[in-house]
């Protein structure tokens, strides 16, 4: 457990939460500031600050629970849609530095600004960025 990590404290039961699901490796609980009703979070019990530093097995287990909870949210609330969100770094509006996936049920016209219109990109620019990422994979 990381001393100053609020989600480690929730995992340890030191801070209460509205728990939805728990198993040996993973915890799912309601977000205390829901953007829409049903907004919940899934975290690996082992601390990792973000996606970059996550453990393969923990991440795989977390994603399996994300799917399980998403199906339950879909069944229980029948939302208009459902988004997953996961932030890395302050620039991505990450505020809790313990890896977590947001499950966000959507409501019609909820004005959540995660949608971007489909605008054709510049193919040369797309190809150049793809090359840059592929090079980074080889490092
Ligand atoms: P981030 O911005 O890091 O992706 O999301 C952190 C989320 O954690 C926010 O949506 C925030 O509402 C939620 N959160 C922060 N502190 C607590 C807490 O003590 N309990 C619960 N249940 N959620 C929290
Ligand atoms: Zn933590």
Going from the Cα of 127 to the center of ligand 2, the distance in angstroms, rounded, reads 37
Rounded-to-integer distance, Cα 63 and Cα 6, Å? 21
b/e sequence 76-97, b meaning 16+ C-beta within 10 Å: eeebeebbebebeeeeeebeeb
Q: Which atom of ligand 1 is nearest to the CA of 18?
A: 22
Q: List the domain boundaries for the chain.
A: 6-138
Q: Which atom of ligand 1 is nearest to the CA of 86?
A: 4
Ligand nearest to the CA of 5: 2
Cβ atoms of 82 and 34 within 8 Å: the answer is no
pLDDT(115) > 90: no
Rounded-to-integer distance, Cα 99 and Cα 19, Å? 17
Residue bearing tokens 């209460």: 16
Q: Which atom of ligand 1 is nearest to the CA of 96?
A: 3
pLDDT tens-digit series, residues 35-82? 999 999 999 999 999 999 999 999 999 999 999 999 999 999 999 999
Kindly report the pTM of this predicted structure: 0.93
Classified by CATH at the fold level, domain 6-138 comes out as HIT family, subunit A (3.30.428)
Is 47 in the active site? no
Going from the Cα of 38 to the center of ligand 1, the distance in angstroms, rounded, reads 14
Ligand nearest to the CA of 89: 1
- CA separation, residue 58 to residues 18, 95, 137 (Å): 22, 21, 21
Number of neighbours of residue 3 by Cβ within 10 angstroms: 6
- Give the pLDDT mean for 23-34: 96
Best CA proximity match to 20, nearest among 75, 87, 58, 59: 75
Cα 27 versus chain centre, distance: 12
pLDDT of residue 58: 98
- Give the pLDDT mean for 12-37: 95
Going from the Cα of 106 to the center of ligand 2, the distance in angstroms, rounded, reads 27
Cβ atoms of 65 and 26 within 8 Å: the answer is yes
Question: How many degrees, rounded to 5, is the angle at CA 69 between CA 63 and CA 74?
Answer: 125
Q: Is 55 in the pocket of ligand 1 (CB under 6 A)?
A: no
pLDDT band at 118 (very low <50, low <70, confident <90, very high): confident
């Amino acid at each position: 457990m990381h001393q100053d990590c609020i989600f480690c404290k929730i995992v340890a039961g030191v801070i209460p939460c509205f728990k939805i699901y728990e198993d040996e490796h993973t915890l799912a609980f309601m977000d205390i500031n829901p953007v829409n009703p049903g907004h919940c979070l899934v975290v690996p019990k082992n601390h990792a600050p973000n996606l970059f530093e996550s453990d393969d097995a923990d991440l795989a287990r977390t994603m399996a629970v994300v799917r399980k909870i998403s199906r339950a949210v879909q069944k229980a609330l029948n939302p208009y849609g459902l988004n997953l969100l996961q932030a890395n770094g302050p620039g991505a509006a990450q505020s809790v530095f313990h890896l977590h996936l947001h499950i966000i049920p959507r409501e019609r016209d909820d004005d959540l600004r995660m949608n971007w219109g489909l605008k054709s990109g510049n193919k040369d620019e797309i190809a150049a960025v793809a090359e840059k990422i592929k090079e980074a994979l080889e490092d």
